[in-house]
Amino acid sequence: MSSLALSFNEVNFSPMVRDGEAYLTSTELATALGYADTRSVTKIFNRYADEFTSKMTKIIESPEVVNLSTSNLVMKIRIFSLRGCHLIAMFARTPVAKEFRKWVLDVLEKEVTQQQIDTRVKINAEQQAILKEIVNRRCEGSTKKRTELWARHNKHFRIPRYSELLAMHFQDAVDYLETMQIKAKGDIHIDENQTIEMLCGHARLFQAWWNTHSPALAKLNPQLVYMLHDNMFYMTYAISDLCKKYNVELPNYDYKHMFELKTLPHERYSLIK
C-alpha cells in the first residue's frame, strides 16, 4: 500500500497510508469530483457525518507547517478512506460523481484481490465447516466417496488439504463440490446418464433464477422476457421427460428462494426442503 499510485482523469492523488489503508485528502477529493470550492467535500461530510465510520475518515496533522511571525501553526486536515470517498461521491451532485464512484469501486476490488494474493488469506473456520458439510452430505456415509471428493477438490485447486484453500477461491470450491458427479461406487466419472442429470440439474437452476428475476428483467426488456417465457414453459416438460426416461432424481432444493438477492451464494445449495 505504501507504493500505491492512484489517479482519476487528470487528478493524481498522493494517498496516505493509515493502518494499512489508503486515504485521500478532502482537497484532492473535491478536485476529483469537480468542485471549484475545495471545502465542498467537508460541507458534504458535515451534513452526513453520522453515516461515516471512524475508519472511513480521520483528522490528521498536515505534513506542511505554516509560519505565522515567530510561531509555527500545524494545520489539521480531513482525510477519507476509499470507502469514505465512495460515500462522499454518493452524496455529490457533480457531473463526474457517477464516474468517480465506479472508479473507486474498481480500485477497491483490485485492492482486496491483491491483498488476498499478497497475504495468501486462507478460508476461515466457518468456510471450512461449509465445505465439510457439502462433502459429508454428498458422500452419503461412504468413506470412498468422501476420499474421492476431497482428493479431486484438492487436486483441482492444487493444495495439499482443503484447509489450505485460499479465501478468494471459496465460492469456486462450493460450486465445484456441489456439481461434481459421483458414481455409486465412489469413482468420479461422467457417463451418459450423468450428463443428462447435469443438464437437467443446471436447467432447473436456470429456471429458478429466471422465475426470481424475470419480473425485473421485464422492466428493462419486456420483448425479450416475452420471447423467453415460452422457452421456459417447454423446458419444464423437457426436464420432466428426461428425468423419467433416465431415472434422474433432482435435488429437492428450495428453488423458489435460492436465488433471492438476500441469499448469499454459498448458502444456495443448503436450501434443501
For residue range 189-244, list pLDDT tens digits in order. 455 666 787 788 888 888 888 888 888 888 888 888 888 887 887 888 888 888 88
* Domain region containing 265: 190-273
Domain shared by 45 and 147, yes or no: no
The reported pLDDT for the residue numbered 185 is 55
User: Taking the CA atoms of the chain, what radius of gyration do you get in angstroms?
Assistant: 26
The domain boundary residue, chosen from 119, 135, 157: 119
Does some domain include residue 178? yes
The reported pLDDT for the residue numbered 130 is 93
Torsion angles phi and psi, residue 81, rounded to 5: -70, 175
Domain shared by 183 and 211, yes or no: no
Task: Work out the average pLDDT over 253-267.
Answer: 69
Does some domain include residue 132? yes
Domain shared by 84 and 36, yes or no: yes
**Which CA distances in Å does 198 have to 82, 193, 244, 255?**
43, 9, 14, 16
The reported pLDDT for the residue numbered 90 is 92
**Which CA distances in Å does 12 have to 17, 33, 45, 98, 141?**
16, 13, 22, 18, 59
CATH number at residue 59: 3.10.260
State pLDDT tens for residues 138-181: 988 888 888 889 988 988 888 888 988 988 788 889 988 988 87
pLDDT range class, residue 70, cuts 50, 70, 90: very low
Higher-confidence residue of 188 and 11: namely 11
The reported pLDDT for the residue numbered 44 is 93
The reported pLDDT for the residue numbered 262 is 66
The domain boundary residue, chosen from 137, 154, 189: 189
pTM of the model: 0.41
Higher-confidence residue of 222 and 126: namely 126
Domain shared by 50 and 71, yes or no: yes
Higher-confidence residue of 38 and 117: namely 38
Does some domain include residue 1? no
Q: Of the ranges 70-74, 133-137, 138-142, which one carries the lowest mean pLDDT score? A: 70-74
The reported pLDDT for the residue numbered 116 is 54
Strands (E), 50-188: 57-68, 71-81
Distance CA 93, CA 220 (A): 25
pLDDT range class, residue 88, cuts 50, 70, 90: very high
